[in-house]
Chains A and B, each alone.
Chain A
Amino acid sequence: MTHRSPLLTLAAVAIFFAAMLTADFLVHPSAGSATAGAPSTTPPSPTSPSPISSASPAATPTQPASTPATSRPITSPAASATKRAYQDQFPHKVVYAGRSEDGHLAIAVAVLGDRAAAYICDGRSREAWLRGTVDGDSLRLTSRQGYRLTAELDDGRLEGEVRGDGRHWKFEIRPAEKPAGLYRAKGSTTTVGWIRLADGSVVGVATGADGTSEAAPPLGSDDEAQVDGQTVQATPVNGDDEI
């Protein structure tokens, strides 16, 4: 004698599972903003199929995911970039710096080998240090507070988006030539991050031991700054730094 109710349970779970997954595949480009309440114009930049995934039958459903996205004009650059994306490679050591498209955030991403570190800040109170890895021509980084940065190489530029705190920012930033780049300094209790942009301007945020953030102290041309009442030397951040 057999019982059928566990099979029904199993079938119900399988159907529910499949339905959720299908919905994700169909709606995904705008779905993430359902909780964020942000406008749903997110390009699925990290979803361009990699040679590995397209070779596997399990990953073939990724194709439909990009289909609805092609109707969005915003994604066409990413789509056209897919062809040469395979040839794009990160330099062994590089730092990208720039601003988000809306100008709200300064963003710096440092890559060393297959490790990546990033810093985002608005120069007033919002900041996050992110860590992650390089996967071919794309990056994925996360911060402790839940910020996520995904990006991929597009003709030498880094194109992607930052999500977190219920918002998201898109960016396209270029390699930074020194003295532009990402800097960090630690005082007795305060940690400061600065992004020096290509035009020489500096954006930074300082966070104290109690977790409150404020605009960073000025970063001198000698990379020195006053932190916690002392003069400290800011150091360039590398992709493999423990931040």
Chain B
Amino acid sequence: MATAESAATPPTAQPTRIGPVLVAMSIGAVVSIGLGLFGRLHHPTGVAINLAGFSSGLAVKTWLTTAAFLFAIVQLVTGMAIFGRIPLKGAWLGPVHRWSGRVAVLLVTPVAVHCLYALGFADFSTRALIHSILGCLFFGAFVCKMLVLTRDDAPGWVLPVLGGLVFSLLAALFATAAVWFFVYRGFTF
């Protein structure tokens, strides 16, 4: 059960194996490519299920992504603390890291579904193309990280790299969509 805590003690005497990590990466790659193919081949509808109370589907997505990004910052801080990179200690680090991550991914999942279903894999501008590629990569990287978390025998550098990758991808997704929305549409709900 203790995922983050186990990661906090990487230097065990246990020999490390890269094989399972490669398997996890392969599965993550399949997820990324699968999402990209779906987004490309499914004819975008332009509309999808949305939350009420916002001015548009884009506004909903913008605010969900913004909230997710805030949780991702919590992820970054607690993740770095778990690996001793910043002087924070406590039994709360693991649970906070896990639950902030779960909330973040819970928030971006409906965003991604809307992107895939209503908009598809878009290449009408550089921003849209980058965003589409990163969106597919994000879920692949997330799947890969979850799978690696189940193993104790992964090399110690794998989790920080994957965690950093997931965070960077989310930050880039946030920048290529939500920030863009705020710039062009103003700070609206």
Interface of A toward B, CB cutoff 8 Å = 1-7, 9-10, 12-13, 16-17, 20-21, 23-25, 27-28, 31-36, 42, 44, 46-50, 52-53, 56, 58-59, 61-62, 65, 132-133, 140, 142, 144-146, 148, 150, 163-164, 166
Contacts of A46 in B (CB 8 A): 43-46
Query: How close is B20's CB to chain A, nearest CB, in angstroms?
Result: 10
Q: Is B57 an interface residue (CB 8 A)?
A: yes
Bound-state Cα–Cα, A144 to B143, Å = 34
Bound-state Cα–Cα, A129 to B38, Å = 30
Q: Is B168 an interface residue (CB 8 A)?
A: no
Query: How close is B7's CB to chain A, nearest CB, in angstroms?
Result: 10
Query: How close is B184's CB to chain A, nearest CB, in angstroms?
Result: 6
Q: Is B41 an interface residue (CB 8 A)?
A: yes
Interface of B toward A, CB cutoff 8 Å = 1-3, 6, 34, 37-38, 41-58, 60, 98, 101-102, 105-106, 109-110, 112-114, 116-118, 124, 142-143, 145-147, 149-152, 184-185
Q: Is B109 touching A13 in the complex (CB atoms < 8 A)?
A: yes
Max chain A C-beta neighbours (<10 A), residue from B101, B109, B152: B109
14 contacts between A and B (CB under 8 A): A3-B152, A5-B1, A13-B142, A24-B48, A28-B48, A31-B47, A32-B46, A49-B43, A58-B41, A59-B38, A59-B41, A144-B184, A145-B185, A166-B56
Bound-state Cα–Cα, A58 to B117, Å = 12
Contacts of B110 in A (CB 8 A): 20
Q: Is B49 touching A31 in the complex (CB atoms < 8 A)?
A: yes
Contacts of B47 in A (CB 8 A): 28, 31-33, 42, 163
- Smallest Cβ-Cβ distance to A14: which chain B residue: B143
Bound-state Cα–Cα, A239 to B105, Å = 40
Q: Is B49 touching A27 in the complex (CB atoms < 8 A)?
A: yes
Bound-state Cα–Cα, A59 to B37, Å = 9
Given A6-B147, A17-B112, A34-B50, A28 and B152 contact (CB-CB distance below 8 Å): no
Contacts of A61 in B (CB 8 A): 42
Contacts of A58 in B (CB 8 A): 34, 37-38, 41-42
Contacts of B116 in A (CB 8 A): 21
Q: Is B2 touching A31 in the complex (CB atoms < 8 A)?
A: no
Contacts of B142 in A (CB 8 A): 13
Given A59-B41, A132-B124, A146-B58, A20 and B113 contact (CB-CB distance below 8 Å): yes
Given A3-B6, A132-B124, A20 and B98 contact (CB-CB distance below 8 Å): no
Q: Is B54 touching A35 in the complex (CB atoms < 8 A)?
A: yes
